[in-house]
Structures are given as structure tokens and as C-alpha cells.
Chain A
Amino acid sequence: MSLPLAPCHMRRNARMTDFHGYFLPLSFTSILEEAKAVREKAGLFDISHMGHFMATGPGVRRHLNGLITSDLEAVPPGKCLYALLPNDQGGTVDDLILAASGEDEIHVIVNAGNRDGDFAWLRDHLPKSISLEDLSAGQIGLALQGPASSQIVSLLARGFEGMKRREARFSMGAANHLWISRTGYTGEDGWEFFGSEESILPLYRILSEKGGDLGLHQAGLGARDLLRLEMAYPLYGQELTPEKTAFDAGLDFAVNLRKGSFLGKDKMLEKRAETGRNRLTGFVLTERGIPRTHCPVLDPATGLQVGEVTSGGHSPRVGGGFGLAYMEPGFLREFEQGKEAGVEIHGKIHRARIHERPFVTGGLSGKKESAQLAVKSNGTADQGAKR
């Protein structure tokens, strides 16, 4: 499916790719250069493929809160919330960003590949008194990400730079259902915008034409995936699936067990108590190689498979090949104590050792923001509208 900005990307000679049926830029110059620009200055991503829903009606917060893992009722209007949408077995339908634009009006940002499934799931599980609207068609989504974002965003309007981390604003009226939030999925400061083509295209033009002087680079999905993986943020379909729970993926911070019950909670807790479930961990290769999704993880002592890579890549900042993998608990305990694992790439075993997550420091994972990371349990979103 072609998205509104595709012709602009083609004029910039972007290398385009298919992502869940959407035609999007993979990169403009070089994936590594674009990722570096986002860590050091700023990058502009087209995220028009993200799904954008609006749920309205009396008690909509309470009804949605019964379907998600974190506490929407504890989040004031104008603040973004990261949550998982569990299925009735405690596995994961999707991960989401939610924000209230009014007392009885909630915006939800979902993954592109799950848009139809999420809509059907929410429609089936919300009462008929709640209206659910898909605002995605024809929408443009932009993510401005990087340490220079706060200067660059000032090109658009006064006041944006004063927004707090995870703050969301909504503009109604002429620019109907415009979402503006200080969020992102790169681990850097930044803003995300969603809205109709008429409302967002002028913002894209200003950023594209004037942002370059302030260090802004056009960036594609390749850099986006590398940046999120450096932060160990999950990607639905890889770290999160219908079988994997938030606890399996180590997303405990996104589950609020003190709030009222939610669909799938009991099953999630049952599965958390099971001792045999594989858990997600971070690793780096100690020799040259690039792990990729589905590469087997082996116990070098026995040669038996003890896990599988969900996402892998190469990062100069991490220092080589690295990734995330689900591993069997027995092996994982040894791995956590320093035992090496083998990752099979093109039929050859590459040695790997455990690595803390996130894989890189700086930006939002740096010292200044660690205080905010520590208060994750209050339920506010650390991660923005994603992918």
C-alpha cells in the first residue's frame, strides 16, 4: 500500500521496502549513517504505517483498562501510556501507546501489521456503547528523533519544545485529530505526529526543508530497527507473539498488578509461575558475525538447541553482532553467570555472551533519564508510539 509521503521519498532516491504491505523507505543514504545521525543529531522517520484508532464513549478509560496491562485510569489526560494488549491466554495481541484527548476519548497507536486484528479485538471486547474509529487511512505519521529534536521542533511552532517527556497534545477543529507527543522508539528525545495528510504535510515540508541546517537527516526503517534493537525495545512478531507474555519478554514494567483485573491477567500470572518457560535475554557475539531472526542458540557443551534469536543486527556502538533471544531457563541461568552460548549463523557456530539491556547508553538511557526509567512502575510509557 502506498502512503502519502512515498513520492517525496522517491524524489529523495530512498531505497524503498515492503513492510507489512506498506511501501516505506528502508534508507536514504546508509542505515548506519542514519542511525548515527539520530544518536548524535536528529532523524526524521515516516511512520504513516502505524495504526491510529480513537475510542469514545462513557467510561471508555475503564473499559480499555480492562483490556491492557498498564493503568490507563492512573494516567492524566495529555500523558502517553505504553501497554500490552494480552489475549485470553495471557499471550500478546499487540503492544500499544494510548493517550486521552478528553474525559471520554482515548487515542490508541498500534503496530502496522496488527492494525486489522487489533481493531477487531478491541471492537469485540469493548461494549457497544463505546465507539471505535480507525483514523489510519490516508494518515501521515512522523517521528522526529534525536538530541537536536527540541531545537528542530521549534521550526514548527512555539511551545512544542516545552512539552514534557511523554506528554501528548491533540488539536481538533481544522486539523482534526492531530496527535502530537514527546515520545519515540529510538531511545532518544523526540516528537511524534499523527494526523491527516492536510495537517501533517506542512510539518513534513518545514522539517525536510529547514531541518537540515540543524542537523536533521531523513531516516528509514533500517535505522529505526537498529535503534530500537540497541535499546532492546520489542518488535511485535519477533519478541512479542500470541504465545509470549509480557513477563516472558521482560516487560514487567508495563504490567500493573495493583490495578483492577484485566483480560488475560490470571493466565499471565500462571505462566509467570511456570518454571519451564523461555525468557528473553540480550547477547553480543564475541567473534565476527551478524545474528538474524530465527538463528538457533546452542549450548556449546551439548550442542543442543536451547533457544532462538528473535532480533539481531550489527551495531558499531555495541561493537559488533548483537541481539535478543529466547532461551530455556536452565541454560539461561548459566548464561547469566557468564557461560558462553553458540549462535548458529550460516551453519557455523558463533560464540556469544550475555549483555545488559539496553545495549547502548546515551540519550534516554543515559544518567539524566535513569530517574525516569526507575519510575516506570507508575505506568507511564517509557516508549513512544512505535516502529
Chain B
Amino acid sequence: MSSERRYTPTHEWIQSFGDASRMRVGITEFAQKEITDVVFVELPKIGKKVPQGAEVAIIESVKAAFSIYAPMGGEVVAVNGSIESNPALVNADPYGAGWLFELRIDNAAEWDSLLDEKGYQALLSSGTAGGH
């Protein structure tokens, strides 16, 4: 059973699919539109440990390079190999096949610092969205 999807002010999303300690991370629809044509993604190495808010991947698009930050702290336990060969998936299906990596979460309490759907939509409509 998947969890609720939560968001960062820098336009990453995070969600678990069954195992609550293992979270999948990607970028939002808003972010993929801003980033435009994704050319490739510098994914982290499996086993890399990152604190919440650390830069963990870089998305290179035709337009510019964008840093991706860890929504929660943890260890990288999987990366999405299919975006290596087909980076356009990040644009086409950012919440699905275009996910970036999975984290084994260190501290479940960090979940509470993230934005819920309503909070993220409010951030977008306020036009003060930061990050990318």
C-alpha cells in the first residue's frame, strides 16, 4: 500500500510503496515543466548516505542543470536505471516511471517537515516557490 505523497519547497516528491522505511523520490510536474527537456540525470551511487536537504542528484536539461535535494535523510538503496537510457521519462511521467532514486529513511520524524498536497499547491499558487 502506498503512502501519501509529500513535497519539498524545492519541488521534489517522496512516497513509500509498501515498506514505510523505503521511500521513492522524484521531481514534481511543476519542476519537470520548469526544467524542460531532460537530457540526463546524474544519479547517486547506491549506498550513498545523505542528510535531509543535501544535494543528491543533478538533472541536466537542455536549458540548465538543476540540483535535486534529499527530501529526507537516509541511504540510497535504488536508482531508476530506466531514466539512464530514456531521460525523457522524467518529463513524461515525473510521478511514475520518471522517479529518480529510493532512500532507506533514517528518521521517520522528518516526514512531518514536508509539505502535503494542499501545502504544496498553496506554495505553487503563491508564486514564491524556490529551489529550481
Contact = CB atoms under 8 A, between A and B. Distances in A.
A26 B36 contact: yes
Contacts of A314: 39, 60, 62
B115 interface: no
B63 interface: yes
B58 A346 contact: yes
Interface in A149-185: none
A346 B65 contact: yes
Nearest to B62: A31
B122 interface: no
Contact of A32 (B33, B42, B62, B64): B62
Interface string A262-292: 0000000000000000000000000011101
Given A32-B62, A292-B65, A15 B36 contact: yes
B37 A32 contact: yes
Contacts of B36: 15, 26-27, 30-31, 222
A116 B32 CA distance: 36
Nearest to B91: A30
B85 to A, nearest CB: 12
B120 interface: no
A290 to B, nearest CB: 5
Which range holds the interface residue count of chain A? 10 to 19
A342 interface: no
B111 interface: no
Contacts of B40: 288
Interface in B67-93: 91
Contacts of B39: 290, 314
A289 B33 CA distance: 21
B60 A290 contact: yes
Given A288-B40, A290-B39, A313 B62 contact: yes
Interface centre among A15, A290, A345 (most CB of B within 10 A): A290
Q: Which 10 A-B pairs have the closest CB atoms?
A: A31-B62, A314-B39, A290-B60, A32-B37, A30-B37, A31-B37, A31-B36, A314-B62, A222-B63, A32-B62
Given A27-B36, A32-B37, 18 more contacts: A15-B33, A15-B34, A26-B36, A30-B36, A30-B91, A31-B37, A31-B63, A222-B62, A222-B63, A289-B60, A290-B65, A292-B65, A313-B62, A314-B62, A345-B65, A346-B42, A346-B58, A346-B65
Interface of B: 33-34, 36-37, 39-40, 42, 58, 60, 62-65, 91
22 contacts: A15-B33, A15-B36, A26-B36, A26-B63, A27-B36, A30-B36, A30-B37, A30-B91, A31-B62, A32-B62, A222-B36, A222-B63, A226-B62, A288-B40, A289-B60, A290-B39, A290-B60, A292-B65, A314-B60, A314-B62, A346-B58, A346-B65
